[in-house]
Structure 1
Amino acid sequence: MRGSTGGVQRKIIDVYKNAHYVHCYAHQLNLIIQQATSHIPRIGTFFSDLGGFSAFFSRSHKRIAVLDQVVAHRLPRASTTRWNFQSRAVNTVYEHKDDLLKCFQIIRDSGNFDNSTVREAGCFVRMLEDEAFCFFLALFHKIMPNVDMLFNQLQKRNIDPVYIKAAVQGFTNNMQAIRDSIPFLCGDSASSDQQHQHKKRQRTLGPGEQQRLATEVCDTILIHTKERFSFTQHLVSATLLHGELFPQHSVTFPESALETTVEAYPMLNKAKLKTELSLIYENPEFRVGSGAVPLKIVLNEKLVQSTFTETVSLLKIIITTPMTTAESERCFCTLKRIKTFLRNTMTQDRLNALAMLSIEKKLVRDIPDFNKKVIEKFVNQKERRAKFLYK
């Protein structure tokens, strides 16, 4: 749907020249991590091996019984598109690495499993003892919490451009800090390997190679983050009103931001917009809040919409431009859960009602005795042979 040549985006822009396409920033983050890991063969191999842990146990209840007995924690499945699932897999394997190693050794040495299971368990034992796998596991155990944090922030309903920009900047700073700490991470891995060197025949990765691969991963994430989160022009406009309009120390009008704003929205009158923003910028009565919504409320309360027409138009654009598509995507996910193969013949009214109940389930749970009220209304609609109510 986001095709720039023949998709829905292109068809809308052909009619509305100034329309801005808003891609899901949470999905953009997934693409960033996917691109950062797919072009490095060693990293791709690591995540492929990581996905084998949950697949190994999911194929047999007998294996799951040993897992519950030794580790007492199920292994989450991994996903190539949603990296919060990969994060759960990384954290679980990292935190229960010793227990998993013991579990695989029990499966391999117990003699109660078939040859293929014993062979696979032996491979996982060697994998958990492998220097490269353990290093990448520790590296992504540091990276993934930051990915999860940004992923959750980008899916909130009440977010604005400045919030997104600050969240992405915080993610970039954390990734840069991880990149700067890579030499220490490689040093810890090297000292640990020297203590257990008698268990290994040869080193698969040296500290220099570890540092090079880890640096390449962090650099790729930083580069793709900068490219994919190069915000569209309406975000610059929001920054103009939110961050630069009411500075604490600066008294200079943000000329560059105004130029970018007018370039993004050519329907605005530049001269009049500058005059209105200059008055707002100098008047302390408009500094009661920060952001587009509080400023719009102040203008409405003072009944000056007809005076600040260009400012009001820009505020409406900023307020109504969505910063995330997570809510609309959840509607499609809800539809897939409701309209299943067995319910394929339901009417449109029933589908709409079930979708509303599923989407607004938090509101439904807050209604006291909701299930009881629904049952009473159902049984009182007409006379029925079965007695649903006992008086």
Structure 2
Amino acid sequence: MLAACKGGISNWRKATEKFNEHEKSTLHSDSSQRIAALGSTPINALLSDAAPKTQNTARNVLELMFRSVIFLGKKGIAFRGDNSRDGVLYELMLERTYNLPKEREWPLLWNNRGWYNGCKCHGTIFTDTRYVDKSMEIHTDFLGFYNAPDSTGETLFKCITDVFLRLNIPIERLKGYCFDGASNMSGRFSGVQARLKEVCPDSLFVHCANHSLDLVLQEVGREVSLVAETLNFVQGIATVIRESSKRKELYVYMFGCDDVVNILAICPTRWCVRTIAMKCVCSSYTELQKTLKILKDDKSVRGDARAKIGGLYKQCLKGRTLFGLLCCEALFEPCEAVAKNLQSNNASARGALECTNLLRERIVALRDDTVVQGIESKVSAADLKMPDARQHRASKTPARYRHTTEPEAHAMSTWRQEFFEAVDLLTAELKRRFDQDGMKIAAPRENVLIEAANSRGQQQTLELESLHLPQLISDVDRYRQDLQLKMLGDAIGDSPCHTVQDIATRVAKLHPQARGIFQDVEKLIKLCLCMPIAVASSERSFSTLRRLKTWLRSNMTQKRLTHLTLMHVHSNILDNVDVSALMRVFNSATPERKATFGRLPTWSSRRQQNGAFSANRWHKVGELPMYGELGG
């Protein structure tokens, strides 16, 4: 056929045969493909044009995904449901891409089954750290949850040291720690506090003030029968009324047009928040009597419940029950007021001891006949069953020693005796529980600073040797430290300082050169500020855990749980997070991600408007100041 192209076809009889033979040749196929390609776009050009569009769509979806995760993490909302397609994150992404057809078809919206894995967390502890920054402000930061294999003191100590190691913080800088009274935490020989004391001899341990107050009330409730019976009665009433909607409607009906007083159950763990439940029972005592009277004769109530209601009704008719309610209210109410103050982030050892002394004085003031007589008058006015004055006591003096037929003691005298017993026991337990070695050292440190700040122009002798200062502060010149304390009062102003926080605020406002004079005093101030008194802020992390680790997320891994909790607790930090920086970190992890999302922009509009925010915020937690506290 090549010859025909050069000289033409000479034998037309075989032209058709030659043409058919030429169509089967490789030369004809290649020529046909080249001619067809002349009028179309090359494939490499098509791929070059499609890749940027696909990567741009992928970047948009990735940014939507990051912002959706941030939103759900801040609000503590579950990411998924029973499966990967039945989750809030999936539905939120579909909703956000409703008017974006290309983004809606992106595989990330449906191929997310591999994001989740099922590893249950059986035992969890948490770590919070408290530190003071250069501006003399106290920070209490949640660091994460730790999945401990068991709860022994040795294991928990290893978990704590591992946290310090991961954050690149020398554990020798630990100056104070606060735990509850469990033996594995507060044990003198093998507890966590004993092991930390071996590593950090200069550190102080404080038994949580709120837990100590709870233990005081728990001891009173266990030893005094009047208090125990009253608490059981309040809990029984709440259980009977609240467990049935029919009974609750009957109870509400008894109020008529008046405001309904809701019955509250007693908190099973926190003894300092039971006053409200007692007040509710006292204020609705008459309505409760009517409700129980109707329910005890109601045949529709099952037998065991009706028997319990009958017992509560008989107990409700007795004056001793109302007397116990009023007595417990008088005992628990001041304790609850003190407990709220001990939960403050600015709580100090000196303030805790002063609150305890005020509480003890208030409790001692209740040991008065006029107080008991006032309670007895309220009980008598309630028209309840009072003890018979003619009834003799069960255990009588032998007849040969008695020369009268009058009763040896009125039953109401027994009530007074039990109330005074509760008062004495509460006073003694307050003194015992708050007589701690850590408190005895931390409070005098604060007293030295406050006395020095308030002694303007006065010469005072400050005894620093009794403060047991750590090695870091003890190495400074004693004369120089004493001189700085004497100059402190003249530098911070005329208004008196009541707390170390007041002193820290005024020192932070000094000129940098003037502030440099008090370098050693600043160390002592930071040492006092970072000392923990209660673990209330740490226990709020467990409240967060209760909201986050629901039935929908029971199979969440420990790593995912910690990350989600960090987002939820530190939601204020998420408001300033540079999403573009996070996307760049995510994109640079693997070559596949780089090919999928392409090159991400270096600067975002948020960074240009609000200033830069480091994407490695959580990688710099190790740069905490030297003064720290661990709560758990």
TM-score (norm 2): 0.51
Instruction: Determine which structure has greater relative contact order: mean sequence separation of CA pairs < 8 Å that are 6+ residues apart, divided by chain length.
Output: 2
Deviation per CA, 1:151-178: give whole Å up to 9, x if none: 2111122333343333333322322232
**Partner residue of 2:211?**
27
Aligned counterparts of 1:101 and 1:13: Cα–Cα separation in 2: 56
Secondary structure (helix, strand or coil) at the match of 2:206 reads: coil
2:276 partner letter:
R
Deviation at 1:198, TM superposition (A): 9.4
Distance 2:469 2:372 in 1: 44
Aligned counterpart for 2:304 among listed residues 80, 92, 116: 116
In the TM superposition, what whole-angstrom CA distance separates every residue of 1:203-244 from its partner, at most 9, and x where no partner exists?
9972322222111111211221122223231122112222x3
**Which one-letter code corresponds to 1:16 in the other structure?**
C
Tell me the equivalent position of 1:338: 548
Aligned CA distance change for structure 1 residues 78 and 194 (closer, same or farther; 3 Å): closer
Residues 58 and 64, structure 1, Cα contact 8 Å, conserved in 2: yes
Q: Distance in 2 between matches of 1:30 and 1:285?
A: 39
| 8 Å CA contact retained: 2:203, 2:470 | no
* Match for residue 460 of structure 2 among 231, 249, 253: 253
Please give the per-residue CA displacement for 1:123-164, whole angstroms capped at 9, x wherever unaligned: 112111223222111111222221221121111223333433
> Is the 8 Å Cα contact of residues 182 and 211 (structure 1) preserved in structure 2?
no
**Cα deviation 1:185-205 (Å, max 9, x = unaligned):** 355267548985599996997
Q: Does 1:234 align with 2:442?
A: yes
What residue number does 2:10 align with? none
Which of 388, 394, 412 lines up with 1:207 in the alignment? 412
Q: Distance in 2 between matches of 1:19 and 1:49?
A: 45
Look up the match of 1:225: 430
Any residues of structure 2 matched to 1:164-175 within 5 Å, and which?
Answer: 164-175=352-363
Match of 1:355 among 565, 588, 605: 565
Residues 23/59 of structure 1: CA separation in 2 closer, same or farther (3 Å cut): same
User: Does the 8 Å contact 1:90/1:137 carry over to 2?
Assistant: yes
Shift of 1:63: 2.4
Structure having the larger proportion of residues in strand:
2
Task: Answer yes or no: is the 8 Å Cα contact 1:155–1:324 preserved in 2.
Answer: yes
Q: How does 1:1-391 map to 2 (within 5 A)?
A: 1-70=185-254, 72-180=260-368, 181-185=370-374, 187-188=376-377, 191-192=380-381, 197=386, 206-230=411-435, 231-242=439-450, 244-247=451-454, 251=458, 253=460, 255=462, 258-261=464-467, 263=468, 265=470, 267-268=473-474, 270-281=478-489, 283=490, 285-287=492-494, 290=497, 291-299=499-507, 301-302=510-511, 303-304=513-514, 306-346=516-556, 350-352=560-562, 354-356=564-566, 358-359=568-569
More helix by share: 1
Hey, what's the Cα distance between the residues in 2 that align with 1:211 and 1:348?
54
Are residues 187 and 344 of structure 1, via their aligned partners in 2, closer, same or farther at CA, if it must alter by over 3 Å?
A: closer
Distance 2:392 2:292 in 1: 22
**Structure 1 residues 86, 223: closer, same or farther in 2, change over 3 A?**
same
Query: How far apart in 2 are the matches of 1:139 and 1:175?
Result: 11
Instruction: After superposing the two structures, state which structure 1 stretch, 195-204 or 99-108, moved more.
Output: 195-204
Do the aligned partners of 1:237 and 1:260 also contact (CA within 8 Å) in 2? Answer: no
Q: Distance in 2 between matches of 1:329 and 1:21?
A: 18
Tell me how far 1:338 sits from its aligned partner.
1.5
Could you say if the C-alpha distance between residues 69 and 333 of structure 1 is closer, same or farther in structure 2, counting changes exceeding 3 Å?
same
Answer yes or no: is the 8 Å Cα contact 2:217–2:426 preserved in 1: yes
CA-based RMSD = 3.5
Structure 1, 98-107 or 233-242: larger mean CA deviation:
233-242
Instruction: Output the amino acid matched with 1:108.
Output: K
Provide the rounded CA distance (Å) in 2 between the counterparts of 1:81 and 1:152.
15
Looking at structure 1, the residues matched to 389 and 237 of structure 2 have their Cα atoms a distance apart, in angstroms, of 22
Structure 1 residues 341 and 321: CA distance shift in structure 2, 3 A: same
Distance 2:482 2:455 in 1: 20
Task: Note closer, same or farther for the CA distance 1:90–1:254 as it changes in structure 2 (3 Å cut).
Answer: farther
Note closer, same or farther for the CA distance 1:167–1:245 as it changes in structure 2 (3 Å cut): same
Could you tell me whether the CA contact under 8 Å between 2:338 and 2:355 is conserved in 1?
yes
Gap change, CA 1:59 and 1:288, over 3 Å in 2: closer
Measure, in 1, the Cα distance between the counterparts of 2:266 and 2:275. Answer: 8
Query: In structure 1, what is the Cα distance between the partners aligned to 2:222 and 2:235?
Result: 15
Contact 2:226 2:419 in 1 (8 A): no
- 86-95 vs 104-113, greater mean Cα deviation: 104-113
Q: Alpha-carbon deviation of 1:260?
A: 3.1
Write the distance in 1 (CA, Å) between the matches of 2:392 and 2:469.
Answer: 55
Of 77-86 and 298-307, the range deviating more from structure 2: 298-307
**In 2, Cα distance between the equivalents of 1:341 and 1:58?**
24
User: Aligned letter for 1:236?
Assistant: P
Q: 1:9 offset after TM fit, Å? A: 1.2
Identity of matched residues, %: 19
CA distance in 2 between counterparts of 1:73 and 1:18 reads: 52
Structure 1 gap segments, 5+ residues each: 368-381, 383-391
**Alpha-carbon distance in 2 for matches of 1:10, 1:160:** 22
Gaps of 5+ in 2: 1-184, 394-409, 576-595, 597-632
